[in-house]
Amino acid sequence: MRPKSIIISHGHLDHCGLIPNLVDLEPEIYSTVMTSRLTGLLAKDTLKIAQYRGHVIPYYNDEIQEFERKVNHVNYRKEFETNGYFVCFFDAGHIPGSSMIHLEKDKKSLFYTGDVNLIPTELQNGADKELPEADVLMIESTYFGKDHTPRKLLEERFIESVKETVDSGGCALIPVFSIGRTQEIMMILKKYGLNAHVDGMGVDVYNLMKRSPEFVKDPKMLDKAFTGSNIVDPEERKRILKNPSIIVTSAGMLNGGPVLYYIREIYDDPKSKIHLTGYQAQDTNGRKLLESGYIEDKNDRIHLNCRAELYDFSAHSGDVQLRRMVREFCDSGTEIVFTVHGDNTEGFAEWIREELGVESKAPVNGETIYI
Ligand SMILES: [Zn+2]
**CA separation for the pair 297, 16 (Å, rounded):** 27
Residue 13 C-alpha to ligand 1 middle, in angstroms? 8
Together in a domain, 157 and 177: yes
Residue 299 C-alpha to ligand 1 middle, in angstroms? 30
**Smallest Cα–Cα separation from 313: which of 163, 71, 149?**
149
Name the domain boundary from 51, 73, 95: 73
Residue 338 C-alpha to ligand 1 middle, in angstroms? 18
Together in a domain, 305 and 160: yes
Together in a domain, 165 and 291: yes
Together in a domain, 218 and 171: yes
Pairing of strands 294-297, 300-303: antiparallel
Together in a domain, 348 and 335: yes
Query: Tens of pLDDT along 22-66?
Result: 999 999 999 999 999 999 999 999 999 999 889 999 999 999 999
Q: Is the CB of residue 20 less than 8 Å from the CB of residue 59?
A: yes
Instruction: Using DSSP, state whether 99 is helix, strand or coil.
Output: strand
Name the domain boundary from 27, 50, 73: 73
Residue 233: how many CB atoms within 10 A of its CB?
Answer: 9
Residue 92 C-alpha to ligand 1 middle, in angstroms? 10
Domain count, the chain: 3
Residue 303 C-alpha to ligand 1 middle, in angstroms? 30
Q: Is the CB of residue 338 less than 8 Å from the CB of residue 137?
A: yes
**CA separation for the pair 336, 330 (Å, rounded):** 8
Together in a domain, 203 and 323: no
What does the DSSP 8-state code read for residue 363?
P
Please give the pLDDT value at position 120.
94
Together in a domain, 155 and 302: yes
Residue 92: how many CB atoms within 10 A of its CB?
Answer: 28
Q: How many residues does the chain have?
A: 371
Domain that holds residue 342: 76-147+316-371
Q: Which residues contact 142 (CB under 8 A, 6 or more apart)?
A: 115, 279, 314, 316, 341, 342, 343
Please give the pLDDT value at position 228.
84
Is the predicted pLDDT of residue 357 greater than 80, yes or no?
yes
Average pLDDT, the chain: 96
Residue 56 C-alpha to ligand 1 middle, in angstroms? 25
Residue 94 C-alpha to ligand 1 middle, in angstroms? 7
Please give the pLDDT value at position 202.
97
Together in a domain, 300 and 157: yes
Please give the pLDDT value at position 318.
96
Q: Is the CB of residue 72 less than 8 Å from the CB of residue 250?
A: no
Residue 16 C-alpha to ligand 1 middle, in angstroms? 10
Residue 95 C-alpha to ligand 1 middle, in angstroms? 7
Together in a domain, 321 and 265: no
The average pLDDT across 161-184 equals: 98
Residue 68 C-alpha to ligand 1 middle, in angstroms? 20
Together in a domain, 140 and 168: no
DSSP string covering 214-277, please?
Answer: GGSS-HHHHHHHHHTSEEPPGGGHHHHTTS-EEEEES-TTSSSSTHHHHHHHHTT-TT-EEEE-
Residue 168 C-alpha to ligand 1 middle, in angstroms? 36
Name the domain boundary from 73, 105, 133: 73
Please give the pLDDT value at position 1.
73
The average pLDDT across 169-194 equals: 97
Please give the pLDDT value at position 52.
87
Please give the pLDDT value at position 371.
86
Residue 211: CATH number of its domain? 3.40.50.10890
Residue 250 C-alpha to ligand 1 middle, in angstroms? 16
Q: Ligand 1 is a single-atom ion; what residues have CB below 5 A from it?
A: 12, 115
Residue 131 C-alpha to ligand 1 middle, in angstroms? 20
**Smallest Cα–Cα separation from 90: which of 80, 109, 103, 77?**
77
Is the predicted pLDDT of residue 302 greater than 80, yes or no?
yes
The average pLDDT across 268-290 equals: 96
Residue 148: how many CB atoms within 10 A of its CB?
Answer: 19
Together in a domain, 181 and 293: yes
pLDDT-based confidence at residue 173 (cuts at 50, 70, 90): very high
Residue 345: CATH number of its domain? 3.60.15.10
Together in a domain, 158 and 260: yes
